[in-house]
Amino acid sequence: MPSLSVQAPTCTDIQRMTAAIIAGQELSASEARALLEIQANSDAYQSLMQAAQTVRDHFLGKTVHFCSILNAKAGNCSENCSYCSQASNSSNVDYTKNKWLDHEDIRQAAASAANNGAKALGLVAAWKGVKKGAQLDMICDSIRELVAEGNIRPDINLGILEDQEVADRLRDAGAAVYGHNLETARSFFEQTCDTHSFDERWRTIQYIKKSGMGLCSGGIIGMGESKDQRIEFAEQLRFIEPQMIPINFLNPLPGTDFAEREPVNPDEALITLATLRLFLPERNIMVAGGKEVTFGDRLAEVFDAGVNAVMVGNYLTTLGTEPEFWHQQVASRGLQLAAAAGSGCGKGCSDPS
Ligand code: SF4
């Protein structure tokens, strides 16, 4: 249902919200929805960005987390996620397909990610979900080997989990964090994929949480969801309490169902990030896939919007910004790179890029 007229808050309103959040009150969904009405180049925009930094610094300090991902099994996915070049209905061929990588390739990727400052490497697989049997055994072996080498924390992103036993076995192998995105609001999900359901994703998240692994879960902004649905998505994130929330922005790749959609305007993207910061003040929020396409030469402004984590290195099927750029930005803004692996990182296999 379309929203009734929603008024953008004033600077005074935003200052009042900020004080309330710092005092321990939750921003309401209607307050968050109103923030999405703020216009770029307004005083309220400046107040929102200031509020996002104040809230981030208060709850999370000035520490920034870097995470990296590896497409450990790429291409030929059975699923039809409309934003994904690896989907069954995508004609995009601009990336290399591979079966689950052998350990030497994974070890080299881990060394490279650690060298770039990443504390965690998310092993991502393009399939509906990991299967019990030889496949699960092989992945547990990869996790154990990375844990034994000790260079980087291996996170995993293996899609839908069949049951609790699979989650528990992955935890026992040494996986500290499982990445599994909600992707978007429940009410919009069916417009992005119909080979699996939002409920299957939701159930997988319950298995992850019950296993004791950390949860990395976010989604994609700009697939055609309404502003109301962005707040619905934020409410779902508040409910599942991920340690890390990767926020991707649609990169409309050729050959995908969403190829003709427009990337999100950078001001709108920054307002969305800042609103998420105020709505989820204690959560790590990471800017991930699609950021280069969305922000262009304004990429560093993501820190103005209160993010405290960045996906560094390349994405699943496209190239990312050089890690050196992020190191320079962190230093020049008085932020610090996390000295140890955060409590949650990784990446949804839903990376739109
Ligand atoms: S997002 Fe993941 S599950 Fe969906 S098509 Fe791409 S690789 Fe497959």
> What confidence score (pLDDT) does residue 350 get?
42
Ligand 1 atom with the smallest distance to the CA of 351 is 1
> Within 10 Å of residue 27's Cβ, how many Cβ atoms?
22
| Cα 124 to ligand 1 centre (Å) | 10
Greater confidence (62 vs 97) lies with 62
pLDDT digits (tens, 9 = 90+) for 24-53: 999 999 999 999 999 999 999 999 999 999
Mutate to test the pocket of ligand 1, among 84, 128, 200 (most ligand atoms within 8 A of CB): 84
| Cα 81 to ligand 1 centre (Å) | 6
Task: Name the pLDDT band for 207 (thresholds 50, 70, 90).
Answer: very high
Residue 160 · residue 195 · CB < 8 Å: no
- Counting Cβ atoms within 10 Å, is residue 110 exposed (0-12), middle (13-18) or buried (19+)? buried
Does residue 315 carry a pLDDT above 80? no
> Which residue's C-alpha comes closest to atom 1 of ligand 1?
350
d(CA 346, CA 309): 11
Task: Name the pLDDT band for 319 (thresholds 50, 70, 90).
Answer: low
By C-alpha distance, which of 25, 47, 69 is closest to 158? 69
Q: Which two tokens stand for residue 199?
A: 């409920």
Partners of 244 in the beta sheet? 216, 284
Class of domain 57-337: alpha beta
d(CA 151, CA 148): 9
Partners of 67 in the beta sheet? 120, 311
CA torsion sign for 270, 276, 281, 283 is: negative
pLDDT digits (tens, 9 = 90+) for 106-129: 999 888 888 887 778 889 999 999
| Cα 157 to ligand 1 centre (Å) | 11
- Mean pLDDT along residues 160-185: 97
Percentage helix, strand, coil, to 5, in the chain?
Answer: 40, 15, 45
